Amino acid sequence: MRYLVLADIHANIDALEAVLREAAATSFDHVLILGDLVGYGAEPNAVVTRVRGLGPLTAVRGNHDKVAAGVADTQDFNPMAKEAAQWTMRAVDADNRAFLASLPVGPIAVDDLIEICHGAPFDEDAYVVDSLDALKSITDATRPVCVYGHTHLPMAMALVGRDFQYLDAEAGTSLRLEPGAHYMINAGSVGQPRDGDPRAAWAVIDTATRRVEFHRTSYDVSAAQERIRLAGLPESLARRLAAGR
């Protein structure tokens, strides 16, 4: 099985379409959606509709999806995120809102090897950024490979026996999943990367070869910026796309 991993698309249809074009060339059987389909970007309906049409998929909700669906409030959001969330709430149509509201709380076990969550296995809204977070996550995970999002930073961490390792998650890396080891894998963000590289980040996990392939895809950033400006969303949301921050 080849899983296409898409996290934190954040209503960026230009980034999503570019990723799907490139992913089609590598082929995949099933899509894993790690939450935050919407929020920040200007095309929440286009993104949700596109994702719903992708065929077999397993998804979990993100904090921005919860707010857009009216399942949570914006209490934990900074002023910019709050403004974007309120705009998104108004923009999302009834059908897509119902889909967002139906997204399950992570973690969700996908098969015997993989589970997915937005933040962490122990808390869907927690940020996994270092070895402490990763070790706590690995303790809580029910599968050897936990794939997560939320931080918008591509990362791969492993516990091999008692040895904790930070592994390479650069574009072009093909990471081999060793039997008996435990992994925390973040494919990075499709729609709002924050590692200084503006290219859309995604991954493919091949369970037959036990490999994770990390990818980056260039897309029309200026088109996504133009949509944000036309929507009247905060200018900083447009600017950060070019910086990848």
| In the complex, least distance from residue 10 CB atom to Zn ion, rounded to whole angstroms | 6
Tell me which residue has tokens 């039997």: 179
Stretch binding Zn ion (CB under 5 A), from 5-13, 67-75, 170-178, 228-236: 5-13
36: nearest Cα among 7, 72, 74: 7
Q: Tokens at residue 65, please?
A: 């999806």
- Geometric angle at alpha carbon 4, from 169 and 183, rounded to 5°: 45
Euclidean distance between CA atoms 213 and 205, whole angstroms:
6
Tell me which residue has tokens 């719903």: 52
Residues 219, 199: contact at Cβ < 8 Å? yes
Nearest CB to Zn ion, comparing residues 8 and 124: 8
Q: In whole angstroms, how far apart are CA 66 and each of 35, 50, 58, 85?
A: 9, 19, 17, 10
Residues 74, 63: contact at Cβ < 8 Å? no
If one asks whether residue 124 binds Zn ion (CB under 5 A), the answer comes out as no
Residues 207, 111: contact at Cβ < 8 Å? yes
- Residue 143 carries which side chain, given as an amino acid letter? R
| Residues 25-64 as x/- pattern, contact with Zn ion by CB under 5 A | -----------x----------------------------
Q: Residue from 8, 43, 124, 195 that binds Zn ion (CB under 5 A)? A: 8
| In the complex, least distance from residue 150 CB atom to Zn ion, rounded to whole angstroms | 6
# binding residues, Zn ion (CB under 5 A)? 2
| In the complex, least distance from residue 58 CB atom to Zn ion, rounded to whole angstroms | 18
| In the complex, least distance from residue 40 CB atom to Zn ion, rounded to whole angstroms | 8
Nearest CB to Zn ion, comparing residues 36 and 115: 36
- Residue 76 carries which side chain, given as an amino acid letter? D
Stretch binding Zn ion (CB under 5 A), from 3-11, 22-30, 46-54, 160-168: 3-11
Nearest CB to Zn ion, comparing residues 189 and 207: 189
Residues 34, 65: contact at Cβ < 8 Å? no
Stretch binding Zn ion (CB under 5 A), from 2-10, 102-110, 135-143, 232-240: 2-10
| In the complex, least distance from residue 62 CB atom to Zn ion, rounded to whole angstroms | 6
| In the complex, least distance from residue 8 CB atom to Zn ion, rounded to whole angstroms | 4
**List of residues contacting Zn ion (CB under 5 A):** 8, 36
